[in-house]
Amino acid sequence: MSEAGATKKLLYVNRKAPYGTIYAWESLEVVLIGAAFEQDVSLLFMDDGVYQLVKGMDTKGIGMKNFSPTYSALGDYDVNKIYVDEDALAERGLALDDLQHLVWEDENEDWAEKDSIHLVGRDEIADLLEQQDVIFNF
Amino acid sequence: MSEAGATKKLLYVNRKAPYGTIYAWESLEVVLIGAAFEQDVSLLFMDDGVYQLVKGMDTKGIGMKNFSPTYSALGDYDVNKIYVDEDALAERGLALDDLQHLVWEDENEDWAEKDSIHLVGRDEIADLLEQQDVIFNF
Amino acid sequence: MLHIVNKSPFATTALASCLRVAKPGSTILLIEDGVYGALDGTRNSDAMREALADRTVCVLGADAAARGVADKLLDGIDVVDYDGFVDLVAADDGVQSWL
Amino acid sequence: MLHIVNKSPFATTALASCLRVAKPGSTILLIEDGVYGALDGTRNSDAMREALADRTVCVLGADAAARGVADKLLDGIDVVDYDGFVDLVAADDGVQSWL
Amino acid sequence: MKFGIMVNEGPYTHQASDSAYHFAKAALAKGHEIFRVFFYHDGVQNGTDFTTPPQDDRNVVKRWSELAEAHGLDLVLCVAAAQRRGLVDEEEQKRHGKSGHNVAPGFRISGLGQLIEAGIQADRLVVFGD
Amino acid sequence: MKFGIMVNEGPYTHQASDSAYHFAKAALAKGHEIFRVFFYHDGVQNGTDFTTPPQDDRNVVKRWSELAEAHGLDLVLCVAAAQRRGLVDEEEQKRHGKSGHNVAPGFRISGLGQLIEAGIQADRLVVFGD
């Protein structure tokens, strides 16, 4: 599994809300740096992690940097497999439309714009975890 | 309420398990220092805080100091109002007998040994919180 | 008295512990990730609606706005700023932080 | 694969989230405050008994002993030391920590 | 009114120090007095002047120092917590032979009695933590 | 087998660093290799030599330094996290004009790429945190 040069499947698991703790932001910094390594990268947002992708954040009142625009840059870094737990959304009263619309351009299809976010359920999450070579937890 | 010289009602609220985080231990250090101030002191253990008082801890395997013997010294510091949430115990399958037997000696009754731990329910906890001048949270 | 909750009800049991013992007439202030407890349409909304029947529930507006959820608050929840936070602490005669 | 849970099921939702997606045949290792999830007679015991039906559940013995609960474990739970922890990581081909 | 404030977590990782800062600032602006801000547990990390946060982020430590400077705030780091976590003033530097000292302006290291005193002397104690 | 270890919390407040240490020690004793221990978030505080914990407590920082010394462990503190939280080596001390430096023996400051590399090069990555 650790063959030099082989591409590995890397998963970043995000389960915490933004701003209350810094994990969401510092996790995103890892993803951006990690993109340069040209591995097979996925992101999973579950539990309160789904709140990281909510649109319309305005942090002026708490005096902290709003890092949420950075998510929309992920597509440019070829990070386009973003899995969101649909049950986590539902129990929080959220729909896909409450999240940022994250897209990427597929060079194999004449740069067609495609959605990066994929809603997944319990079984798909279980599979996703099992398929990885490396999981980063924050 | 902040009359100089007046005795205040101080409550230490402990809601976290020991060893996984240091709050239990460092909270106990505050209680010991605070005892010198001769205020009207109470301790409340609720939620996972009730695990702090479980007897028979043996920390050799994790290489951390077992600070639990210190609880038995609280009586000598005139800290003898120790309230434990009985519902928190019950949902954890614990009985009073699973906890350390904490006692104090009543100088007004010829140093009779008395129990420091008092089991309390929801309404008593609600009253206890309302009665305090100062609450320390950990 | 004033109860302060700074945790999401979906992550920890802090809000549930608070609601269990917060008396009628007391005030519950939701700050930081605690603001998620103030939202409508969630698994937690019924518990909060029940709290609103006999307790005052406030949310720190800056924390709700930061998280993009300021427009999703339950009816009956008061929005306060840091000045209002100070006023709540000054007005009540005790503060319990559900860390 | 190996799932590691280090939180009390009475404090956070980490164990519940883990049990929801840990597949039959996977291993769940409870460490630190996670060991409280391994105890018999608690509000959480039924969920753990259900997990034991088709998953392997281990507890780090040193963490259970530190907390004075080593004699309260559910039947069917394996006790491991740090050596056993290493073996579990080496044996399974993936590790997910439910922080 | 006289407030006491307790901060249990360090800068950046948890929002506790930010919330405490905004609370303190608002209280002072409304004419209240802050008797003391006591930093405990990882909260002592709010007092390190060794931080150099990114330009586009707030400087949590400096903000506390400036608030202390402007309002004569008493910012106290618990000595026991500071020793466990690596906060060293000039005196401790000499005693323990460290290469420097990292307590930021406006902060001082003192004992847990200062927390109890804050609880007793203030009209209200507000705790910020995790 | 080759392990990578990630530590997300600082010493003493959370057990994460203790668990990681005992895991690493056991792995080395069993003949496994530790490719790298990467300290992120508050985990960088594990690398401060400014701590002086009580005599009756373990010395978390020193324990890591000694394990590194004995086994040639690579202990890496994330530079961005270190700057936010006040970890300074001699180079950073000069650059930012601090009064000293507080990176303990055996630790080095480097970039996040070192974490990704550990994930790729190691057979297993184990994360310890809160």
**Quick check: E42 and F10 CB within 8 A?**
yes
Chains that touch A (3 or more CB pairs under 8 A): C, D, E, F
Position A5 scores a pLDDT of 61
What residues of chain F have any CB closer than 8 angstroms to a CB in chain A? Answer: 2, 6, 8, 40-41, 80-81, 111-113, 115-117, 119-123, 125, 127, 129
User: Is it the case that residue F33 has pLDDT exceeding 70?
Assistant: yes
If contacts are CB pairs under 8 Å, which of residues 41-100 in chain B contact chain C?
46-47
Q: How far is C85 from chain B (nearest CA, A)?
A: 18
Catalytic, out of E78, E79, E81, E103: E78
Q: Tell me the Ramachandran region of residue D3: left when phi exceeds 0, alpha when psi lies from -120 to 50, beta otherwise.
A: beta
**Quick check: C40 and A59 CB within 8 A?**
no
Q: Quote the mean pLDDT of chain F.
A: 97
Query: Would you call D39 an interface residue with chain B, using a CB distance cutoff of 8 Å?
Result: yes
Residues of A whose CB is below 8 A from F127:
135-137
Q: What is the pLDDT of residues C28-84, one digit of tens each?
A: 999 999 999 999 999 999 999 999 999 999 999 999 999 999 999 999 999 999 999
Q: What is the pLDDT of residues A36-53, one digit of tens each?
A: 999 999 999 999 999 999
Residues of chain B with pLDDT under 70: 1-5
Q: How far is A66 from chain E (nearest CA, A)?
A: 10
User: Is it the case that residue A1 has pLDDT exceeding 60?
Assistant: no
Pairwise CA distance, residues C73 & C37, whole Å: 9
The count of other CB atoms within 10 Å of the CB of residue F11 is 29
**Quick check: C90 and E127 CB within 8 A?**
no
**Quick check: E124 and C90 CB within 8 A?**
yes
Closest residue in chain E to residue B36, using alpha carbons only? E113
Please tell me which of the candidates F13, F84, F98 has its beta carbon nearest to residue E12: F84
Position B5 scores a pLDDT of 61
Position F78 scores a pLDDT of 98
Pairwise CA distance, residues A84 & A117, whole Å: 7
Query: Residues F114, F4: contact at Cβ < 8 Å?
Result: no
In order along its 130 residues, chain E shows pLDDT tens digits of 999 999 999 999 999 999 999 999 999 999 999 999 999 999 999 999 999 999 999 999 999 999 999 999 999 999 999 999 999 999 999 999 999 999 999 999 999 999 999 999 999 999 999 9
Pairwise CA distance, residues B95 & A126, whole Å: 38
Residues 6+ apart with CB under 8 A from F53: E83, E84, F12, F59, F60
Residues of F whose CB is below 8 A from B21:
13-15
Nearest to D26 by CA among D53, D56, D50, D59: D56
Residues of chain D with pLDDT under 70: none
The verdict on whether F78 is a catalytic residue reads: yes
Position B1 scores a pLDDT of 42
pTM for the model: 0.97
**Quick check: A57 and C41 CB within 8 A?**
no
Query: Would you call D98 an interface residue with chain A, using a CB distance cutoff of 8 Å?
Result: yes
| DSSP-derived secondary structure letter, C74 | P
Q: What is the pLDDT of residues D8-32, one digit of tens each?
A: 999 999 999 999 999 999 999 999 9
The verdict on ipTM greater than 0.85 is yes
